[in-house]
Structure 1
Amino acid sequence: MTERTGHCLCGAVSFKLTAEPLATRICWCRDCQHLASNGTVNLLVPTEALAISGTLSDYIKIADSGNEITRQFCPSCGTHLFAKSSGRPQFRVVRVGNLDAPSSIQPHMNIWASSAPTWACLDVALERVEQQPLPPKPSPAQ
């Protein structure tokens, strides 16, 4: 495993990943479209594999599932960095664009594809999931 690092736009928040992603995907849900005016490229890691330095601001919203979704931002520059769900506390979502080496990640699926705008460029080589995919299965080592 190669450690990955990243930071927000202004550098006030930095982070380190100490595990390989459990999933990498492009999300087309309406919330991600509001955040990025497009789909967002995300990776999913075990919660304990994400080390954060700096102060975060939270925005909490109840999802259609009833789960509490917490999105975390840099309070200085507003960069959206992370998300977590009360329904899956063992995982953290990391926005790939904030990695120091974003090309070290290759998305494997488009999720919430049913919400993508008609002009969205969805790579047909990637798995297509119309809404929320099932959570990844834990590896035998976990």
Structure 2
Amino acid sequence: MDNTISGGCFCGKVRFSIQGTPIRQRACWCRDCQYLASGNASINIAFRSQDVSVEGELSHYESLADSGNRMRRSFCPNCGTHLFSGQVAFPDYVVVRAGTLDDREIAAPQSIIWMDSKPSWGWADPDIPHHPRHVPAVPPPVQD
């Protein structure tokens, strides 16, 4: 049975495949993610970078997040779809945007971060853990 996770951008010029399991899945209400998710929380799934293969050209944008982490965001230069992000300090991990997955059912958040930045009308699943800001970055050890 093939356990490949796949996805791509809106125009199809960038495709990716993942041969691994998610490390963490969460929704983020930080202000940066609200920009990227058209005002909503972004839904993010973290994987080991070595498990992700990308076909097609990506453009990148780096910025300093409210958490103090330097973030690198990757997107399709043709259609602008935001596909990946990651902390510059932790290159062994990549965050994949749930909307870019072919099977979005695997992306159900297990927690929500940056609740302090959520607008009053924003929805947050009451049945999963909520965090007021960023959860301290303690990535799991990379196992081969």
The alignment's TM-score, normalised by the length of structure 1, stands at 0.92
Corresponding position: 1:138 with 2:141? yes
Instruction: Identify which of 125, 128, 131 aligns with 1:129.
Output: 131
Query: Structure 2: 5+ residue runs without aligned partners?
Result: none
Structure 1 SS opposite 2:47? strand
1:63 shift after superposition = 2.5
Which residue number in structure 2 is paired with residue 20 of structure 1? 21
Counterpart Cα distance in 1 of 2:12 and 2:129: 34
Figure out how many residues of one structure are paired with residues of the other and give that number: 141
The 5-angstrom pairing of residues 2-41 of structure 1 reads: 2-36=3-37, 37-41=39-43
Contact 2:32 2:65 in 1 (8 A): no
Structure 1 residue 71, shift from structure 2 partner: 0.6
* RMSD over aligned Cα atoms: 1.6
Q: Which residue of 1 aligns with 2:53?
A: 51
Structure 1 unmatched ranges of 5 or more: none
SS of the aligned residue for 1:100 comes to coil
| Larger mean Cα displacement after TM superposition, 60-69 or 72-81 | 60-69
Give the share of equivalent positions with the same residue, in percent.
38
Distance 1:93 1:33 in 2: 16
Conservation of the 8 A alpha-carbon contact between 2:28 and 2:43 = yes
1:122–1:18 CA distance, 2 compared to 1 (3 A): same
